[in-house]
Amino acid sequence: MAYHNELGKKGEQLAVNFLLQHGYAIAIRNYRFDKAEVDIIARKESVLAVIEVKTRSSLDFGNPQDFVKPKQIQRLVKAVNEYVISNDLDVEVRFDIIAIAKQGKTFNIEHLENAFYHF
């Protein structure tokens, strides 16, 4: 497996661990619909948090969260709408980013709540 794939999987696991430590329940990982893949869908109280995980090996080319593009956001919104409807959920939906940057042998994790809105 390519290094960037391994780093991405490591980042997703770090994000899951982070969310669990902060009181979230993981509903599903890697939910796919149409052309979208939602990294993590989690619940905390009455909020359904849709989480895009961005992991980078360095900050040389910018912050991880800067790599979420409008087309990807549109796909995520479409996928989450399908998830909510197909599971008959009555919840507030929030779109978050967990930005992870490798710093030496450690990882810096930043949870950005309400990182973007659907349009």
Q: Domain spans of the chain?
A: 3-112
State the pLDDT confidence band at 101, using cuts at 50, 70 and 90. Answer: confident
Q: Which CATH class is domain 3-112?
A: alpha beta
CB 82 within 8 A of CB 36: no
What's the whole-model pTM score?
A: 0.86
Q: Beta strands of the chain (E only): which ranges?
A: 25-33, 36-44, 47-56, 92-103, 106-112
Q: 51-98, pLDDT tens digit by residue?
A: 999 887 766 565 656 667 788 888 999 999 999 999 999 999 999 999
Token pair, residue 68, equals: 């979420």
Q: 12-57, pLDDT tens digit by residue?
A: 999 999 999 999 999 999 999 998 999 999 999 999 999 999 887 7
